[in-house]
Chain A
Amino acid sequence: MESVIAFNIAVTVAWWIGASFTAFSLLCVGVMLALRELSASSNKRREVVNRRWENTLFKAADNEFKIENRRQLTKKNLPHFLYEWNYLHESISGESKSGLNDLGESLKLHAMTYELLKSPFVDKRLMAVNTLGNLGNATSYPSIELLIADRDPVISSWAWRALFRIDVEKTLEKHLEKIVSRRDWSPIFVAKVLKEIDCDTLSKPLCCLVEKHFADGLEERQMSRLISYLSFTKVTDHGEILSKILHESDQKEVLIACLRHINSNEDLERIREFINDERWEIRLQVVQTLGRLGHKKDIDLLIDATDDLDWWVRYRAASSLVSMPGMTELRIEKLTRTLPSKFSRDIIRQVITEIQLLCFRETTLTLSK
């Protein structure tokens, strides 16, 4: 019997879509094969670069490198060399870094890397930014400075780090503010950069920044993030500002960040006031802070807190309680027996058992003998 439908439009469309996708697939296979070839030759080149430069790099890190020993670095080998050079640079500290920089200088790494800043590939640009930062050459400061305004948070934040490595004082003065304005930067990355800076140099500018933005009424989350960076500053510098915030703010996140960092007894009265706060997160932070500050006077407050409505507050209060001075095993046992609340008794027993089991965790949870 003859076919009823020889060719209709649906069949034609199906035919062309199917054929086009099959052709596209074959094209993709071709692209992948080409990419594989490229990758294989790049891997080979990397191995050659590693073999050729490994010894020189280690000698440079040991400051045993002699300029007359230098070899030529070709443009093709540059990305692989930069990775190795940066890898070593990030792994070591102190004098060894200057040895690597001397090697970089003798290879004219600065000029070669500078061109990579214009690369269309983001990974090459990032590596260039990092290299220039590690080289610490002041002439590259203006070019990297431009990248701080880049829309991409990764490029801008790495540029910011590079600037700190080139000139700390200038960057603190001109660009510390970026930790507030660039909300898209990772706070973890920012913390790592701030951690690298000498505490004496960073302390005052950062405290001033926090104070200024608190006065300006910075948004709650941003403010709490900013306060958490105060852990990289000196207690003598941040004590006053933390105290001010603690007395003036009522924002949950801000108060939590403050309570986490307070180490001074001067604000004890204010801290104690928060023990009855309606927000459990604040009560939790208060009992932890009281435990950290360790005043005998607060033992009763902590005992009361072991009967809190929230489990976590009870748990942290019990942990703080058993670490208070004068809380001997005997005293805790006696106390546990006399407490009227079952909640309090249970949670203290749980904490004590945990401490007894994990006897090696003496620094964080221990019974005072």
Chain B
Amino acid sequence: MFQGDDINFVQVTEWLFLVYFVALNGTYLILTAISMAVLPRFIRKRSIHRLPDPQSGFEPPITLIVTAYNEESVIVPTVRALLQLDYPEFEILVVNDGSKDRTLDVLTREFDLVELPVAFRKRVEHKPVRAVFQSKTYPNLRVIDKENGGCKADASNAGINGARYGLFMPLDADTILNRDCLTLLVQPFVLNADTIGVGGNVRILNGCSVESGYLKKVNLPKNWLALFQMLEYTRAFLTSRVGWNRLNSLPLISGAFGLFNKEAVIKVGGYSHKSLGEDMDLVLRLHRHFRLNRIPYRLDYVADPVCWTEAPETFAVLKKQRVRWQRGLFDCLWENRKLLFHPRAGGVGWLSFPFLLFLEGISPLIEVAGLCFFVFCYFMNLINYEGALAFLLLSFGTGFFLSVAAILLEETTFRTYPRKKDFWIMLGGAFVENFGYRQMVSIWRLEGTIKWLLRTKSSWGTMTRNASWSDSETAAESA
């Protein structure tokens, strides 16, 4: 029934999948190995800073830009928590991006806001500002009320224009920061004057309990989807970011938690309205501008400043998010394609950019195609039981190992989840995610790729917040 050509086709395809698999997971393994060599020593060194440490007054001031669109349920505790951050000089700038709910009202009531006759200076593009408010109770709290720009980039740009200090940190309205995070995150700026951006570690808030805007108890998410995402975040922030950073090729600083030099960001035109992945786009544009113009700069990542954010717990919201992320990835890569193998692009143009494009970017296509191919071959008897099992084991073995290695890193550095039960749950999650979850995410990402190729209308979408972590104060506020 099957001729030699069919057999050759199957064998060649098998090899193609295998080579792709080895290249993708080999890169992840290299990043993991770098991280294992670097991170535990870094954390050990940081341990001395647990001793009481007075501030020097030499810390540069920071503007925290909190973008809010329909965030009435979480904005007040978030701002209250930010006001208590352990840092000598900072201001909080909430940008109300034309919310349709009572976001502005609750802020006005809680923080005694009054309108300020401000001459607003526009250095990067955004929708018109309606008014600027100043809190009478907290001198370092201001609110910009603007027309809805349809994307986070627009609100962030308004924040950049309104920021008073040279460093700014864009934050989401549901973000919970550790009290010492600014002190830790600012270090690279102090050490190296060429630093223009620093990223920190983002963790999943689901399952944790929060009191007065601060983490009271850290727990694993009870929802399986959130647990899988927690593992993904651990892999991304403890292995990939640390590895890329060591290779001086950091392609992304999370939009949820990063600190930037304002003038550098203004120089590249602020956040892009066109891209769905505005955070990655900004980082790639910074690389492009500084590298191609031979201007010395540094984009850094530090693993110990931590911010906590809520992950989607339903399939619908998660799907929207992943489709958007994938489209955002291709938006960014396309917009910054000049970086690819450019002679002056350094590690970004020769390592992380090609990785994102040729391995991570097209991975959903290969993975879904591979899955279909092996199922087809198995049922057509083109591949036997042992062959199918071998490729299944390959997929499972590498996937499981990368998650376990990330958990090992977590265990040897932060040990955020000290209970034995949590350890077994994490391992269980690392095992189970290989059977269904990863494939499902690949299909969603493939949908994102197709939508990007077809240029279908994109929307920012809304993140439905569960806010199960919030305390009674927040719950009452939401009610």
A: residues with CB less than 8 A from B are: 1-8, 10-15, 17-22, 24-25, 28-29, 31-32, 35-36, 39, 83, 86-87, 90-91, 121-123, 126-127, 130, 152, 154-155, 158, 184, 186-189, 191-192, 195, 221, 228, 311, 343, 346-347, 349-350, 353-354, 357-358, 360-361
16 contacts between A and B (CB under 8 A): A5-B7, A5-B384, A10-B15, A14-B391, A17-B394, A18-B393, A22-B401, A25-B400, A28-B401, A28-B404, A90-B53, A154-B45, A188-B190, A189-B56, A350-B119, A358-B136
Across-interface contacts of A127 in B (CB, < 8 A): 48
| Chain B residues whose CB sits within 8 angstroms of the CB of A346 once the complex forms | 117, 119
Q: Which chain A residues lie closer than 8 Å to B10 at the CB level?
A: 4-5
Within 8 A of A (CB), among B22-50: 22, 41, 44-45, 47-48, 50
Q: Is the CB of B397 within 8 A of A195?
A: no
Closest Cβ of chain A to B60, distance in Å, is 10
Minimal beta-carbon separation of B395 from chain A (angstroms)? 7
Q: Is the CB of A39 within 8 A of B381?
A: no
> Is B18 touching A10 in the complex (CB atoms < 8 A)?
yes
CB distance from A158 to the nearest CB of B (A): 7
A35 and B14 within 8 A (CB): no
Contact B386 A6 (CB under 8 A): yes
Known A-B contacts A28-B405, A86-B51; the reply to A5 vs B398 at CB < 8 A is no
Contact status A13-B18, CB under 8 Å:
yes
Query: Could you tell me the distance in whole angstroms from the C-beta of A148 to the nearest C-beta in chain B?
Result: 16
Distance in Å from the Cβ of B286 to the closest Cβ of chain A? 20
| A3, B384: Cα distance in complex, Å | 5
Q: A21-B397, A357-B136 are in contact. Are A123 and B44 (CB under 8 A)?
A: yes
Contact with A along B406-446 (1 / 0, CB 8 A): 01100110010000100100010000000000000000000
CB <8 Å contact, A4 and B381: yes
**A11 engages B387 (CB within 8 Å):** yes
- Whether B139 is near chain A, meaning CB under 8 Å from some CB there, is yes
**B7–A186 contact, CB under 8 A?**
no
Residue of A nearest to B2 (CB): A4
Tell me the total A-B contact number using a CB cutoff of 8 A: 176
Measured between beta carbons, the chain A residues less than 8 angstroms from B116 are 350, 353-354, 357
Cβ distance A362 to chain B, nearest Cβ, rounded Å: 11
- The answer, yes or no, to whether B114 is at the interface (CB within 8 Å) is yes
B52 touches A126 (CB 8 A): no
A25 touches B401 (CB 8 A): yes
User: Which one, A21, A24, A221, A350, contacts B117 given CB within 8 A?
Assistant: A350
Chain A min CB distance to B398 (Å)? 5
Q: Is the CB of B48 within 8 A of A354?
A: no
- Set of chain B residues within 8 Å of A8, measured between Cβ atoms: 11, 14, 387
Are A5 and B11 neighbours in the complex by a CB distance under 8 Å?
yes
Which residues of chain B are within 8 angstroms of A358 by Cβ–Cβ distance?
134, 136, 139
Chain B residue contacts of A360, Cβ below 8 A = 139
Q: Are B382 and A4 in touch, CB under 8 angstroms?
A: yes
CB neighbours (8 Å) of B295 from chain A are: none
In the complex, A189 Cα to B59 Cα: how many Å?
A: 10
B143 to chain A, nearest CB (A): 13
For chain B residues 43-85, which have a beta carbon within 8 Å of chain A?
44-45, 47-48, 50-54, 56-59
Shortest Cβ gap from B141 to chain A (Å): 11
